[in-house]
Amino acid sequence: MLEVRNLSKTAPNGKQLLDRVTFSVGKGEFVGILGPSGAGKSLTMRCITGLTKPSGGDVLFTGESGKVYRTSGANASELRRARRNIGMIFQGSNLVKRLSVLENVMIGRLGRIRPLRSWLYGFTDAEAAEAMTALERVEMSSFAARPAGSLSGGEMQRVAIARAIFQRPLLYLADEPIASLDPRNSEAIMRLLEPLAQESPILGAFHQPEITQRYCSRILALRAGQIVYDGPPVLDQASLAAIYGASAAPKTPAWAARAPVPANAAVCG
């Protein structure tokens, strides 16, 4: 389980970028973060991974064994141990284009092997077989020997998901994983992500309410660094207006407008 408690970030000029953001994500949940540009979605993700140091608050996650990993207030070695257990999926896939698809998947576990081993002989045959299994799950095993730079954007993102699977993470973080993809590839990537939540919780930042309504189990929404919605993924027009503002709110799809937001959803304007 991921726990974020009173996460805050203040800019050097004193502007409050994140204001006591608090939520948790448990196994089986695929939680999407929505919000207008500048709301704090990607900043929240960066604070969770420790890429950005928060001004206050705690970020921790717990494995099934009960071991707790912390990225807030952690020293360098503690942060490395925590990051080994986070499967990160970026908007731009972050593949090494000169390496093969299979090699890109396997380097996702570099943090778990000793430097001397990685320099001398790298990964074992068993690990290579496991990486191939990860590629099979994203329907990319036939591309294993190809250079990553020869792939399309959608294919690269599939490999990035396979790399995250190969890490055996306790938590998946997806920072706008479909932002640069066309609708067809966006749907394909979401269909690959959705079942992974049954293994480890997923937290993703998105710009597309119509897609998160179909694939996410829960929605968090940020506006001006504060959580303004935490509840079921089906959002009516009033909820969208609370998140994006009345003039900028995306229109609720016709199929979603018929499903009202349940009473247990937390919405504040």
**CB of 187 closer than 8 Å to CB of 157:** no
Helix axes 183-193, 153-166, angle to 10 degrees: 10
Per the structure block, which two tokens stand in for 244?
């994006």
Which pLDDT does position 115 carry in this prediction? 55
Look at residue 105 and tell me if it is in a domain: yes
Share of the chain above pLDDT 90, in %: 62
Report the distance separating Cα 77 and Cα 227, nearest Å.
31
Residues 137 and 254 in one domain: no
Per-residue model confidence as pLDDT tens digits over 144-182:
999 999 999 999 999 999 999 999 999 999 999 998 889
Question: Do 140 and 176 share a domain, yes or no?
Answer: no
Same domain, yes or no: 6 and 77: yes
Q: Are residues 115 and 194 in the same domain?
A: no
Co-location of 138 and 191 in the same domain: no
Question: Structurally, how many domains does the chain consist of?
Answer: 2
253 Cα distance to chain centroid:
24
pTM of the model: 0.84
At 21, is the pLDDT very low, low, confident or very high (cuts 50, 70, 90)? very high
**Average of per-residue pLDDT across 100-116:** 77
Q: What is the pLDDT of residues 229-245, one digit of tens each?
A: 999 999 888 889 889 88
Instruction: Using the predicted structure, report yes or no on whether residue 113 has a pLDDT greater than 70.
Output: no
113-117, 176-180, 212-216: range with lowest mean pLDDT: 113-117
Residue 35 corresponds to which tokens in the numbers above?
């919000």
Q: How far apart are CA 22 and CA 4, in angstroms?
A: 5
The answer to whether 47 touches 7, Cβ cutoff 8 Å, is: yes
Q: Is residue 94 part of a domain?
A: no
Same domain, yes or no: 184 and 164? no
Does one domain contain both 206 and 248?
yes
